[in-house]
Amino acid sequence: MHVNASPALAQPALSARGVARRYGPKTAVEGADLDLRPGRITCLLGPSGCGKSTLLRLIAGLEPADEGEILAGGQTLSGPGVHVPPEQRGVGLVFQDYALFPHLSVLANVAFGLKHRPRKERNARALALLEKVRLAARADAWPHMLSGGEQQRVALARALAREPAAVLLDEPFSGLDSHLKAEVRQTLLSALRAAGAAVLIVTHDAEEALLMADDLALMSEGRILQVGEPRHCYLNPVSMAAARLLGEANALPARIIGGVAETAFGDVPAPGLPDGAGMVMVRPEGLRLWLEGAPAEIVSTAFGGGFHEVTVVAAGQTARLRLHGGVPAVGEQVFVTIDADRARVFAA
């Protein structure tokens, strides 16, 4: 299933249509549709091995597609009998390890992408690009003298040198210390937004994807399950599998009767769904302890930093929720309610 929940937007700079890639008997990507739009950041999120990097390589033209098409405006970049080479696609690439030349200065690394221009113009343009990523002051440094985040911005400046219609980044934060990530992310995002290109970021980190994306594409086992704005995907996943890609989700068995899904933790509206078995997806923060509700017992609690993770059982069903205030003791009897805005019902 493929659902695009984004409102009407600019024409895509790059599109994948029904793209597939196989390695022997292994299908790495199957029937992938994806649009990258100018000025928007698309995050391709999925677990390791689900085919994200392969799809990125197909879009970049580093590998041929076995099926489907890659389009840029009216032009076919990949398709039956067509394979435009990477350097002619108007695509800039930032690899996981940044792939800077260690023997070239920062400026020379960026200027490398401008070989087609006269030397003098090359350096001026490279310096302007370094300014864009706020590294002009380090133009004469060697790559090894820079932090991981700075090296990444050099790689981005180099990728932007040919004014690409799209910039593709593969796991751009995987090599960085976690305490630096928030700051590096902000700086990188500002530079990407200033460039105005269509951006594709491949990541396996749900929080990162939610924080960065204008458009999110959820991928699992070679297929794109859902495309939409982060908030929409988070609150309205198309399936339990899509829900779980974006963070913890309780799957509560339900009985749907007359447009209401009944669970052990309370009822959720299910307008238009047929009577019968169903499943309610509810995020941990969508379950609350309250003065009334479904009687339940606390079976475990765990300290999670800014919250406590609490496991409750009601009528034999288990669910996890998050508490930000006081924590009840294990064995305590409580009442649980479901916030219907944070729940979604699936028919069986």
Residues forming contacts to ligand ADP in the complex (CB under 6 A) are 23, 26, 28, 46, 48-54
Report the greatest alpha carbon distance in the chain: 76
Residue 22 C-beta: closest distance to ligand ADP, Å: 9
Measured from the CB atom, the residue of 245 and 312 that comes closer to ligand ADP is 245
Smaller CB separation from ligand ADP, 32 or 336: 32
Phi and psi at residue 40, in whole multiples of 5°? -120, 145
Q: Which is nearer to ligand ADP, 15 or 53 (CB)?
A: 53
C-alpha 256/C-alpha 272 separation (Å) is: 10
Nearer to ligand ADP, 23 or 101 (CB): 23
Between 193 and 244, name the residue whose CB sits nearer to ligand ADP: 244
> Cβ of residue 239: shortest distance to ligand ADP, in angstroms?
19
User: CB of residue 21 vs ligand ADP: minimum separation in angstroms?
Assistant: 8
Read off the tokens for 116.
Answer: 């087609």
The DSSP symbol for 99 reads T
Q: How far is the CB of 205 from ligand ADP (least distance, A)?
A: 12
Pick 17 or 57: Cβ nearer ligand ADP? 57
Are 236 and 5 spatial neighbours (Cβ–Cβ below 8 Å)? yes
Which residue, 174 or 301, has its beta carbon nearer to ligand ADP? 174
Name the minimum Å distance from CB 141 to ligand ADP: 31
Using CA atoms, how far apart are residues 288 and 181, in angstroms rounded to an integer?
Answer: 31
- Name the minimum Å distance from CB 110 to ligand ADP: 27
Instruction: Report d(CA 13, CA 74) in Å as an integer.
Output: 10
Q: How far is the CB of 4 from ligand ADP (least distance, A)?
A: 21
Using the minimum distance from each CB to ligand ADP, give the nearer residue, 50 or 294: 50
- Distance (Å, whole) CA 182 – CA 179: 7
Q: Mind giving me the DSSP string for 284-299? A: GGGEEEESSSEEEEEE
Crossing angle of the two packed helices 148-160 and 178-195, in degrees rounded to 10: 20
SS3 call for 254? strand
Helix extents (H) in the chain:
52-60, 106-111, 119-132, 148-160, 178-195, 206-212, 230-235, 240-245
Q: Smallest distance from the beta carbon of 95 to ligand ADP, in angstroms?
A: 12
Write down how long the chain is.
348
Residue in 138, 107, 132 with CA at minimum distance from that of residue 122: 107
